[in-house]
């Protein structure tokens, strides 16, 4: 079985990879290129062919230091689609593992974003809390600049989310986590999955963490059966991905891994996942009973469609990038190929 696998959220998150293998993109400012290389070459073992390095909420000078040094390509490693800036324009009441003292509001439109990040050209996704955005035209301008606007770490009502979607937001960051829980009188951002106020032809995508910890299997089934076309598997992986129990970092905060779960040190607040993408695909497929093809497309085609890169990524159509993986019948990665060259082969 073959596929082209991407992660839009990897915190060191594929749409979302914060970090991994001891590397934290928001913390290890002095070894950025080395850290990205370590993660990119590690991810291919779990079948990831491209990813979005994710920066959690950080001081402005961290963005100014890190963004210019994120490499665009790593030889022999997963491709880099652009950075996912998860914050700092989030709601402090749903900050999760984000440092409260670094959270900001957008007070001066695009000028605020430019002064915060410095470079917008390296950013592919920005996660923000829509209720914290007084002038929604900022979302329009970000979309025009080729940046995917994602909604998350938020206390937003459904109407807040619908307003953001009308202005061009297309993604929800790790559904169910760091947002208001579903309520029958106001379902919040979760309600976007079935809203009748979404513009015609507009798909709202949502990342979901199927690591067996962040999202209950029943919640995975609800999301899958409610809005399968928008479902994107993300890892939300942190620096402890691939490491043993112990103390590590997520951005400015210490984290502790205990019995396969990652918490902000000294608390019971979850702060990212340590499950690789191939494991998330297997967990999701088992929990939902979906086809293997759908489970794979949720990690490949759907994120490519969300980012508007489906002609190059997420398919094996004529003219697309020759990035693919070979799996066995149990969805275990046998080999990973990038640009037509094998970059990983399972030794078992």
Binding-site residues for substrate, in ranges, read: 97, 177-178, 185, 214, 270-272
DSSP letter string, 237-290 = B-TTTT--SEEEEETTEEEEEETTEEEETTS--B--B---HHHHHHHHHHHH--
Round to whole Å and give the CA distance between 279 and 46. 8
Residues facing 93 on adjacent strands: none
| Number of residues that make up the chain | 348
Output the known binding site.
86, 97, 153, 174, 177-178, 185, 214, 270-272
Per the annotation, the verdict on 236 as an active-site residue is: yes
- 182 and 152 in contact (C-beta within 8 Å)? no
Closest C-alpha to 274, from 83, 11, 34, 68:
11
Round to whole Å and give the CA distance between 4 and 125. 20
Q: Is the peptide bond before 88 cis (omega within 30 degrees of 0)?
A: yes
- Which listed residue (28, 236, 278, 323) is catalytic? 236
DSSP letter string, 95-140 = -TTS-GGG-----SHHHHHHHHHS-STTEEEEEE-GGG-S-THHHH
The sign one gets for the Cα dihedral 278, 44, 230, 179 is: positive
Output the known binding site for Zn(2+).
86, 153, 174
User: Could you list the active site residues?
Assistant: 236
């Amino acid at each position: 079985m073959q596929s082209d696998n991407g992660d839009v959220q990897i915190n060191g998150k594929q749409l979302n990879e914060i970090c991994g293998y001891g590397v934290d993109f928001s913390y290890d400012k002095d070894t950025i290129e080395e850290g990205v290389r370590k993660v990119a070459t590690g991810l291919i073992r779990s079948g990831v062919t491209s990813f979005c390095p994710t920066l959690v909420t950080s001081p402005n000078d961290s963005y100014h230091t890190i963004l210019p040094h994120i490499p665009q390509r790593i030889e022999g490693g997963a491709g880099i689609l652009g950075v996912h800036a998860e914050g700092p324009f989030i709601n402090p009441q749903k900050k999760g593992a984000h440092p409260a003292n670094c959270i900001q509001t957008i007070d001066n439109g695009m000028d605020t974003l430019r002064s915060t990040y410095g470079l917008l050209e390296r950013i592919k996704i920005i996660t923000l809390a829509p209720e914290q955005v007084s002038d929604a035209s900022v979302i329009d301008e970000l979309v025009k600049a080729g940046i995917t606007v994602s909604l998350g770490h938020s206390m937003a009502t459904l109407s807040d989310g619908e307003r953001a979607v009308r202005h061009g937001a297309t993604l929800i960051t790790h559904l169910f986590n760091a947002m208001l829980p579903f309520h029958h009188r106001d379902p919040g951002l979760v309600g976007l999955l079935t809203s009748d106020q979404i513009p015609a032809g507009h798909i709202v995508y949502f990342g979901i963490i199927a690591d067996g910890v962040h999202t209950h299997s029943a919640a995975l089934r609800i999301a899958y059966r409610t809005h399968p076309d928008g479902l994107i598997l993300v890892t939300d992986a942190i620096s402890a991905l691939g490491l043993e129990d112990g103390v590590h970092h997520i951005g400015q905060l210490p984290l502790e891994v205990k019995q396969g779960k990652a918490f902000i040190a000294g608390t019971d607040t979850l702060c990212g996942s340590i499950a690789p993408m191939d494991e998330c695909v297997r967990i999701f497929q088992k929990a939902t009973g979906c086809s293997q093809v759908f489970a794979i497309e949720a990690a490949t085609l759907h994120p490519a469609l969300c980012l508007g890169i489906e002609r190059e990524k997420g398919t094996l159509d004529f003219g697309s990038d020759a990035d693919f993986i070979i799996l066995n019948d149990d969805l275990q990665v046998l080999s990973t190929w990038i640009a037509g060259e094998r970059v990983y082969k399972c030794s078992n």
